[in-house]
Chains A and B, each alone.
Chain A
């Protein structure tokens, strides 16, 4: 039973996992299985996390359709897709362990689509040499979260739903727990725990056009910074090539890459398959350069190269952006994604049921009869908490991170399908290692400092203090989204990034004067005011890192430095908090050993 001391509800655990998407659930299951007393804390109801929106599949070299596929090829594809800026060891572990993590889901009751001989079916996706994504129609994320959620419930793991963590607690250099509030009552909660796993997902809610939900406010990134951890690769933000553009109310909503994997093509206003004009040197050898070869690939993959529509996401997003800027866009500022003229209505409804439903219900468009209008949408942050590749521990002892909130795995650009597998592989690793970290502590457990609690509650209550402000959190949030969309978007320049930093500092000043109405009971205005603190810190991290990296690579394109630079190919940009200010540093990227480096060469 919770104690109640000094006005706080108090709990004691070995491991507290923050976030209950794929990574958090998998981490909690692992920590529990390793014998740790484990709590799972999430901002929404259980089963509603962003993982639920993942559509395409889980990348794992099962070799069910292509016996030639193996972890080495998956490793190579991941590193090349990440423009070789990935942490090689994470990419290696990911490629090796993903198959076992997928089978584990099946062991726990997941029902993937099958091959004719009764194995897990696999689908094609951008940047993957072989059909590799285990999937369930276009609702794979739902299947994954439900399977993990049902497993966690069956194991009896303690879940704290609708509880937001606002600060991490420390004892000296080490993590000592976490502080937060129940969204329902506004009541404060203290978790005393020597290990905390961040699994909070991404940061996309700071952009106006985004596929991300309200939860994606960069909480874990900001909690880590404030606790003394470092972030890497924050300049790399993935704009998914295909988001809806019309009607305005659904602008940014994701259209799965499976549409292209299953035969959909991109057309400009002149009806041209423009992707053939945007094949970069780096991918020329493995990409079809004629329509005939590209179309033949769908039925004969051995003798044809992949269509350019299935290049990695950064390449496709930039191409769409360029077509629209050159005046060859659709009426609402996108391009066309056409599967209607290429596949039968039955095929489309069977393979892409939720896309069919989404366009029919929200746009009044029948995708079996007409093309979709799409444009890039802010989707994923490659950057995140710098972690040890094997244990997922940050530079702060006892603080772990897994999934989107962790950095390194995806380098400069993530391949589709590698996110769900990332959540499973590194969620498990984080949970395992958090549990063994606690076990190794023995009786040397950190203590929570009472002063830190009163400081944390003061910060959380500031928006109610009144008197010193009249800023509306909804207004500040909207202005933040405009700044990040317009000045820290797909294409960046030094001038605009500096302007963004100026504006962000203005927004930070305004956020000090936030005032909210009502009381502490389920009050979204108050919740947003507290989330804004994280959004502003993380947005500034992205802008500073983007200013530092003077080249174009993956999810970071600088108009003033349009080429990749070999020097920058050896550097990570690191962001840390120094007092109240963010500091940016460069750090050499770890080099893969020769046997792995060899896999990355052309021709492999």
Chain B
């Protein structure tokens, strides 16, 4: 069942590099990461690659496989067209070495997120929150931080100049997750628009397409957040009324009234 596979792996560092060919034996059911590990064991012990769980749960082994951003551990070789398999590092981030890139951009953006802050009506856990109210945020908390959505996003993929004022799809769902948390008491909408660059996103849904967790990033997070920002920013009356309403209700389930259906 074993066959020979030709891999073309980008090798190099910040100063430059090139595709290098390796031939490795592969077996039924194997994934791209298996082939990379075999390359390390047989041909190039110093081939740099990140990986951890090998089960699609940690989001470490992201790369571009035949030009498509994917997790190497979840890409079965049998799912790829026959012929050589080309593996290159994520293009949006600076290369450190081989398939390893400098993803510190994402960790900087993570530091800018205002943390969860319970509403004064229910300040101390355990909180009463209902399943239907936590579900929307739970979708976004499935994110494994593989950075594939960041990699594929047009706003920063070939536009280094946008990085300082644009946080990208992964962080839009993080901000959305907090905004939709039934017991969060902060209003982050203006900051999301003004400091994180939500307005730059032109909803091409590339991020949703590459998400290995199947999170509907554009439809369920970005578009609703854009709507909420518009409401909050340009309709002061609605904004005032909503605030009053929320205060008056003072229960956890009132957060459902902020849903996209009401946007």
B195 interface residue per 8 A CB criterion: no
A111 touches B53 (CB 8 A): no
A215 interface residue per 8 A CB criterion: yes
Give CA–CA (A109, B127) in the complex, Å.
Answer: 10
Q: List 22 A-B contacts (CB under 8 A).
A: A45-B60, A46-B107, A47-B145, A48-B60, A49-B52, A53-B53, A109-B116, A111-B137, A112-B134, A142-B57, A150-B115, A213-B52, A213-B53, A214-B51, A248-B27, A253-B54, A358-B55, A516-B46, A522-B97, A522-B98, A523-B45, A525-B45
Contact of B126 among A103, A121, A184 (CB under 8 A): A103
A52 touches B53 (CB 8 A): yes
Given A103-B125, A114-B134, A249-B31, A362-B76 contact (CB < 8 Å): yes
Given A136-B141, A143-B141, A474-B40, A521-B13 contact (CB < 8 Å): yes
Residues of A within 8 A of B131 (CB): 113-114, 116, 121
B6 interface residue per 8 A CB criterion: no
Residues of A within 8 A of B181 (CB): 109, 111
B126 touches A518 (CB 8 A): no
Give CA–CA (A363, B79) in the complex, Å.
Answer: 12
Contact of B45 among A47, A153, A362, A518 (CB under 8 A): A518
Q: Which one of B27, B50, B113 has the highest number of Cβ atoms from chain A below 10 Å of its Cβ?
A: B50
Q: Find the B residue at minimum CB distance from A109.
A: B116
Residues of B within 8 A of A118 (CB): 128-130, 252
Q: Find the B residue at minimum CB distance from A526.
A: B46
Contact of B46 among A121, A139, A517 (CB under 8 A): A517
B81 interface residue per 8 A CB criterion: no
- By secondary structure, the B interface counts as loop
Contact of A45 among B41, B54, B103, B118 (CB under 8 A): B103
Give CA–CA (A116, B132) in the complex, Å.
Answer: 10
A187 interface residue per 8 A CB criterion: no
Residues of A within 8 A of B34 (CB): 249
Min C-beta distance of B243 to chain A, whole Å: 22
A residues with a Cβ closer than 8 A to B are: 44-50, 52-53, 62, 103-104, 106-109, 111-114, 116-121, 136-137, 139, 142-143, 146, 150-151, 153-154, 161, 184, 213-215, 246-250, 253-254, 354, 357-358, 361-363, 472-475, 478, 516-519, 521-526
Residues of A within 8 A of B5 (CB): none
A249 touches B30 (CB 8 A): yes
A111 touches B134 (CB 8 A): yes
Q: Find the A residue at minimum CB distance from B126.
A: A103
Residues of B within 8 A of A142 (CB): 57, 141-142, 144
Give CA–CA (A108, B115) in the complex, Å.
Answer: 8
B52 touches A214 (CB 8 A): yes
A154 touches B128 (CB 8 A): no
B76 touches A361 (CB 8 A): yes
B161 interface residue per 8 A CB criterion: no
Min C-beta distance of B149 to chain A, whole Å: 15
Give CA–CA (A108, B118) in the complex, Å.
Answer: 9
Give CA–CA (A154, B59) in the complex, Å.
Answer: 22
Contact of B52 among A154, A215, A249 (CB under 8 A): A215
Interface members, chain B 127-163 (any A CB < 8 Å): 127-131, 134, 137-138, 141-142, 144-145
Residues of A within 8 A of B134 (CB): 111-114
A524 touches B45 (CB 8 A): yes
A518 touches B46 (CB 8 A): yes
B residues with a Cβ closer than 8 A to A are: 13, 27-31, 34, 40-41, 44-60, 74, 76, 96-98, 100, 103, 107, 110-111, 113, 115-116, 118, 124-131, 134, 137-138, 141-142, 144-145, 178, 181, 184, 252
Give CA–CA (A475, B116) in the complex, Å.
Answer: 47
Residues of B within 8 A of A46 (CB): 107
Give CA–CA (A111, B138) in the complex, Å.
Answer: 7
Given A52-B53, A247-B30, A526-B46, A213-B125 contact (CB < 8 Å): no
Give CA–CA (A141, B55) in the complex, Å.
Answer: 14
Q: Find the A residue at minimum CB distance from B99.
A: A522
Give CA–CA (A486, B27) in the complex, Å.
Answer: 23
A472 touches B107 (CB 8 A): no
Residues of A within 8 A of B115 (CB): 108-109, 150-151, 154
Min C-beta distance of A228 to chain B, whole Å: 31
Min C-beta distance of B73 to chain A, whole Å: 9
Give CA–CA (A146, B59) in the complex, Å.
Answer: 13
Min C-beta distance of A114 to chain B, whole Å: 4
Residues of A within 8 A of B58 (CB): 47-48, 52-53, 213
Contact of B97 among A112, A153, A521 (CB under 8 A): A521
Q: Find the B residue at minimum CB distance from A156.
A: B111
Give CA–CA (A146, B115) in the complex, Å.
Answer: 12
Given A111-B181, A522-B97, A525-B45, A119-B60 contact (CB < 8 Å): no
Q: Find the A residue at minimum CB distance from B115.
A: A154
B46 touches A248 (CB 8 A): no
Contact of A44 among B60, B116, B138 (CB under 8 A): B60
Residues of B within 8 A of A53 (CB): 53, 55, 57-58
Give CA–CA (A137, B134) in the complex, Å.
Answer: 12
Residues of B within 8 A of A246 (CB): 29
Contact of A109 among B45, B52, B178 (CB under 8 A): B178
| In the A-B complex, the 8 residue pairs with the closest CB atoms | A247-B29, A518-B46, A525-B45, A109-B116, A154-B115, A106-B125, A118-B128, A474-B41
A253 touches B141 (CB 8 A): no
Given A53-B53, A111-B137, A474-B41, A362-B74 contact (CB < 8 Å): yes
Residues of A within 8 A of B50 (CB): 44-45
Q: Find the A residue at minimum CB distance from B71.
A: A361
Q: Find the B residue at minimum CB distance from A252.
A: B54
Contact of A48 among B30, B59, B128 (CB under 8 A): B59
Given A47-B145, A119-B128, A474-B41, A358-B56 contact (CB < 8 Å): yes
Q: Which one of B30, B46, B51, B110 has the highest number of Cβ atoms from chain A below 10 Å of its Cβ?
A: B46
A517 touches B45 (CB 8 A): yes
A361 touches B52 (CB 8 A): no
Q: Find the A residue at minimum CB distance from B140.
A: A111
Min C-beta distance of A151 to chain B, whole Å: 7
Min C-beta distance of B77 to chain A, whole Å: 9
Give CA–CA (A161, B252) in the complex, Å.
Answer: 37
Residues of B within 8 A of A107 (CB): 118, 124-125
Give CA–CA (A118, B110) in the complex, Å.
Answer: 29
B74 touches A473 (CB 8 A): no
Give CA–CA (A358, B71) in the complex, Å.
Answer: 13
Give CA–CA (A50, B57) in the complex, Å.
Answer: 10
Contact of B111 among A143, A153, A517, A526 (CB under 8 A): A153
Contact of B129 among A45, A114, A137, A361 (CB under 8 A): A114
Q: Find the A residue at minimum CB distance from B44.
A: A517
Residues of B within 8 A of A146 (CB): 141
Give CA–CA (A184, B138) in the complex, Å.
Answer: 34
Given A114-B131, A524-B48, A362-B145 contact (CB < 8 Å): no
Give CA–CA (A473, B51) in the complex, Å.
Answer: 18
B141 touches A111 (CB 8 A): yes
Residues of A within 8 A of B100 (CB): 184, 522
Residues of B within 8 A of A150 (CB): 110, 113, 115-116
Q: Find the B residue at minimum CB distance from A253.
A: B55
